[in-house]
Structure formats: structure tokens, C-alpha cells
Copies of this chain bind each other. A is one copy, B any other.
Amino acid sequence: MLSNTEENYLKALLYLTTDEAGKKEAGTNDLAAHLGLKPATVNDMLKRLKEKAYVSYKKYGKITLTRAGRDIAVFVMRKHRLWETFLCEVLAFSWDEVHEVAEQLEHIQSDKLTERLDKFLNYPDYDPHGDPIPKPNGKMPPRATTLLSSVAIQQSCTVAAVKDTSSVFLQYLEQLSIGIGTKIRVMEKISFDGSVILQVGKEKITVSEKFANSLLVD
């Protein structure tokens, strides 16, 4: 059985190599930066994970997850997202509060717990941030890929997911009454700085380019 620490390395590797993070290859430094550790530390751990056949790489080369490693990482992600859903929907946490707690809960080892929790939540496909929850077989529901910034003028869309899960962003969304499922119409784009004017309910609001690049829509 893997330690929490080992699980965290695999999860980080999954994240870094799944182009959520922008790129597809991961090196020692990327991992170290992502985990807040020193490259030397990561190097040591990678040796052990390679030994145990959870990762694959050659000296000075890029690191990839093996099938076994990816399966574990996906399962940890499944637990993380189920717990986030539980915290929001059942215990009324707000979506900016769930992450840290889910970071702990994702390491609880009990298949029965995971499956019962899934059932209790009625087998959700997406977590409170709109991220897909892997199924027990490792398959993932489709992830929204359209950025709000790429929606044409006068088009309407529905918020499907957030690309940025930082508290500041989530609280800002809260303040604007925007959440998963909110209908948005793009009214105007300012070419000067990429700002976008949106219709949200009866309100007309202006948001930055950075904002429009942080929301995924259907």
C-alpha cells in the first residue's frame, strides 16, 4: 500500500502530464515546484516509485506514469472529487473551502467507503468546480473545453467548469453570482485589453481577459 506522500507524487504527475497544466511532459523540477519540495527530494522519491514500477523514466529524461501509477492517481482523484462534492452538497461548504479538506480525505483507504459515498451522492459526473469525476473503472466524463474568452459576440453559453480554483477567483465568482450552470451571454469584447462585457441574469458586467480565460463553458 502506498503512503499518502507517494500518492501525492502520482497525483501531481497525473496533473502535470494531463495538459490541464498546459504541457504533457514532467521533469524533476516541475514536480518539485508543484509539490513545494526541492528537486533533490523529488529525485529520491522518483527512484523509489520507479523501483515499485509506478513511474517510468531514464536518467536525465522526462517522467511518465506507468499504467499502475496512473490507475492509482486516477483513483485518488476520484476520491478527491467525490469528497469535494460531498462537502459542498451535503455539508454546505462553499466551493472555495473544500480543497484542503479533500486533500486529506482523498487518502482514506476504503473501497467500500468510496463506492458508498458515490452512491449516496447519486453517482455525480462533475465535482463542484465542474471537474469530471472518474468512474470506478477509471473512465472520465467529458471535460468542457470551450473558454468563455472564445465564445462569439451575442452567443449564449452555460458555465461548465472553472480552470482556476484559487479562493480569490472562486470568491469573486460568488460575488458576481456566477456558478456552475449559470447562463451567460457575451455582449461585447474590448480589443484594447481583451475585456469582455457579459450579461448575467439581468446584470451587465465587465470582466478581464484573465477572467474570461478561467471559465469553461458549454
Give me the interface of A with B, judged by CB distance under 8 Å. 87, 90-93, 97, 100-101, 104-105, 108-110, 112-113, 116-117, 120
Partner of A91, one of B105, B108, B120: B120
How many Å lie between the Cα of A90 and that of B104 in the bound state? 21
Nearest CB of B to A121, in Å? 11
- 10 more A-B residue pairs beyond the given contacts A90-B120, A97-B112, with a C-beta to C-beta distance below 8 A: A87-B113, A91-B116, A91-B120, A92-B116, A100-B110, A101-B108, A104-B108, A104-B110, A105-B105, A105-B108
Instruction: Specify the main secondary structure of chain A where it touches its partner.
Output: helix
- Give the number of copies in the complex: 2
Residue on B nearest A117 in the bound complex, by CB: B91
* CB of A196, distance to nearest CB on chain B (Å): 35
20 A-B interface contacts by CB (under 8 A): A87-B113, A90-B120, A91-B113, A91-B116, A91-B117, A91-B120, A92-B116, A93-B112, A93-B116, A97-B112, A100-B110, A101-B108, A101-B110, A101-B112, A101-B113, A104-B108, A104-B109, A104-B110, A105-B105, A105-B108
